[in-house]
Amino acid sequence: MRFEPRGNRVVVEPLEGDSVTRGGIHLPDTAKKKERQGIVRALGTGDQLGGLGVGYRVAYAQYAGTEIRIDDAKDWLVLEASDIIGVWCA
């Protein structure tokens, strides 16, 4: 099954934070810091997507988006295009 965002929405695969501190302490999932970065996996058809493309690495606002689970595989994040604050350029 394929999930297609509508309008100016973007589906992002969040990047995982480190689970080990510099001192070697392993952190549980509940204590990990959210990275607020991810890889674009799908785009809506809106006119405010501003040159975003699938595969781009983006940074987004701290409390942005809605988490969804697709095919019981992993959690994805659906963001409004305006919640994306930057894109890494090559």
* pLDDT for residue 30 is more than 70: no
Q: What is the pTM of this model?
A: 0.78
* CA 67/CA 64 separation, integer angstroms: 10
- Three-state DSSP state, 9: strand
Q: Which of 9-23, 24-38, 74-88 has the highest mean pLDDT?
A: 74-88
Strand pairing class (84-87; 66-70)? unpaired
Sign of CA dihedral 23, 28, 29, 30: negative
pLDDT digits (tens, 9 = 90+) for 53-88: 999 999 999 889 999 987 777 889 999 999 999 998
3-class DSSP state of 64: coil
CATH of 9-16+27-87, one of 1.10.760.10, 3.40.50.2000, 2.30.33.40, 2.40.50.140: 2.30.33.40
The order of strands in the sheet holding 66-70 is: 66-70, 74-80, 9-14, 37-43, 57-60, 84-87
